Structure 1
Amino acid sequence: MTRVLLVDDEPLVLIGMQGMLNWAALGYEVVGTARNGAEALRAVQEKQPDIVVSDIRMPVMDGFALAEACHKDGSALPAFIMLTSYEEFDYVKRSMRLGVVDYLVKIDLTADGLTAALEHARDTAEKEKKLRMPSPAPVSLDTFRDRLFLQLYGGLFTDRAVFDRQCAELGVTFKAPRHIVAVGSLQTPDLPTSQLVTLSTGVTRMAAETLPKYRPCRVTAMDLRHFSVLLPLEADEDPEAVLAPILKTAGQILYNYFSTAICWAVGRPVNDILKISESQHDAFAALPLLHEGEPVAFYHESPNTQLDHRAQVVGQVQQYIRDHLSERLTLNDVAAVFNFSPNYLSQLFAQNSESGFVEFVTATRITAAKELMASTDLKVYEISDKVGFDSAFYFSKVFKKLEGVSPREYMQRMKVSYVDAKDEATV
């Protein structure tokens, strides 16, 4: 709604203008009236109207003095429509300044004339508002590289030529014979969303600055508690021997700075970069293996202990959830798939996972939604349906709670066109 303030020292004129139009139907809201310029100035400061329709001749402060006072800071808002008489017409015509965009002769005032003047003023006000809007921050090529990696992790590249072209455009190359994913996990108690957003952003940014000092890599935020690190490996390198010391060192640096423990779960290496989603899935499946005494866990196909076995079972359930996000995933439904009782499955998650069953399903759906936002043009309600939410409204509510922004705001960030850049990234 465009906000309008009506100003005239004649009560009948104010009443007449208020009843002359169906203001709401035309997209206007009359936010108040005033009987003189001084009263109007206070109303402008309090109610912040977009348009002021004001008489010129008024006691205490006339219309022009009011307009001058409203615009003394150089602002073009509010836009003014002046009411005048025949005797003042030529004077007013010579004084089209001070934010005055139109003038109307009182005695000839009609609904059509007032509507036309309001439309003119609204156009002026909207243009001024656009000028006041902060320019969007320049989007770096890294934003689009993150999008590429989210698509990779989602297994969304089916055409190698398309993938190669995007890599060339973004200056990304994959020269190593093998690649592997480590998932960094913030071991932090429940925090208000705003604090968690700040912490997650800071940790992820510092991880992206710290880890490349030890080994080339790419850090990509996944959700508020996890980020993925894509690392290159030579053909004969042992992932555990090479990566465990690096990840422990980086985790200690992050802990020293943020007082938040970072644990790492590492998947199996892959020979084809287009299969890197498999390594990330393995890493997420290894998350339940993490515990306080061991900050780095590597995925193994054969569990070594009973504890590992339970953690591996949880990892299998988690993978089932990732593969069936569009379906019903209640505790009872998933327990039935694995021939567990709901209570047993709930206990497995409580004892061998970073989060409870419901929390894991929700976080996984949001992560999948982010991958779809990065790689498709689907609408919010279509994404909501694909990742298994009952309604787009509930999806938006949950997304904002976990990510700190609405789905639309997140999508706008991902879809902005990037500017030319010459820098390169190699992993």
Structure 2
Amino acid sequence: MIRVLLVDDEPLVLIGMQSMLDWNALGYELVGTARNGAEALERIGEQQPDVVVSDIRMPVLDGLQLASRSREQYGALPVFIMLTSYEEFDYVRRSMGLGAVDYLVKIDLTPENLTAALDRARTAVEKERALRAPAQAAPGGLESYRDRFFIQLYSGLFPTDGEIRARAGELGLTLDAPAYAVAIADIHNRELTPDQQVTLSTGVTRMAADILSKYLPCHVTGMDLRHFSVLLPLQSRDGLEHRLTPVLQKVNAILYKYFSIHLWWAVGAPTSVPHHIAKSQKSAFSALPLLSEADPILFCRSDDVTPMDHRARTVAKVQDYIRKNPDKRLSLNDVAAVFNFSPGYLSQLFSQNGQTSFVEFVTETRISAAKELMASTDLKIYEISERLGFESAFYFSKVFKKIEGVSPRAYLQKLRGGPGAREDSADVD
């Protein structure tokens, strides 16, 4: 049975999901519910669910913070299915980070799409269980265990160098180089079906590993369908850029010839301490949004301004653009295109470097713009809704009330000094 935890701050949503499916008949066991992210994190530790179905916007910890902390504390399991009430959801759903396998719009939640999302989550859980199975259970099991070791290493789950070396020795690996750096490859290709992307990603990762191993010692580990990590044992921390750049360029040329794809590379800051390898990988991951077609290879240095500083400045620029253009198309895809980022990276930029997620920031910015229009114009509520790109006046009113605590009509009447009036369900003019 696949164990499932349901998390939402709205009791009716929890009740609705519990009654929506015959969970046991479908092979799922509901192990509990939680009303906020902090409570959910406790439940994960207590109940050890395989899947968490969680709202994105919640008190104490939101869904993205919950997923991030769960991954830090418990690794790849549980996987997450995210629920949202916000617009632009088709784009947010594409995010592969933080252990999320799918996203669902609350208002459109049905037994069919919830079941489909759970099926995808089951596949991810079974894959992870296979990685954790004993190595001798199947051919290639040792390699799977090694992959799992590197994933744990990059997640910072080994507190000491001695523990790292002991675990590596059990797997026939030697980590005794004077220094290490982690490179992350970002696979850029045309949109493919999920099955096609799996095939492409597998082929690219394997061929990259074969090519790299001819030039230098390395360990290649797949991260998701568009990224893989390369651990590079180094004899010296000096001259890494000079030695590695031509090798990465060679890999790129060969892979483009065979697969018609481009690889962008971020190389983390070198370290002499094995349990700091996670920091090298993290610095590489942080630098990915700084890559471009013109500059597809970037090296982080310990004496540089950290990529996180770059990322914080980038988030500030994107936020400024959104504030100045609340009436423009502000989907994740549209804004990412303005800044020449992928939607997934832009989403991660916000979740890791901003106070809110991208969708929340856009929504809150539009609500702020709506309040300014209410104060400075005679526009009706539905006209403000249309001007600011909300899908309907009803939806605008619902979001406005969730953020401000009152409906647009009540806010407008208070603003203009009028008497309070009964709020209807749609709250539109």
Report the TM range for the smaller structure's normalisation. Answer: 0.3 to 0.5
Higher-Rg structure is 1
Provide TM-score, normalisation by structure 2.
Answer: 0.43
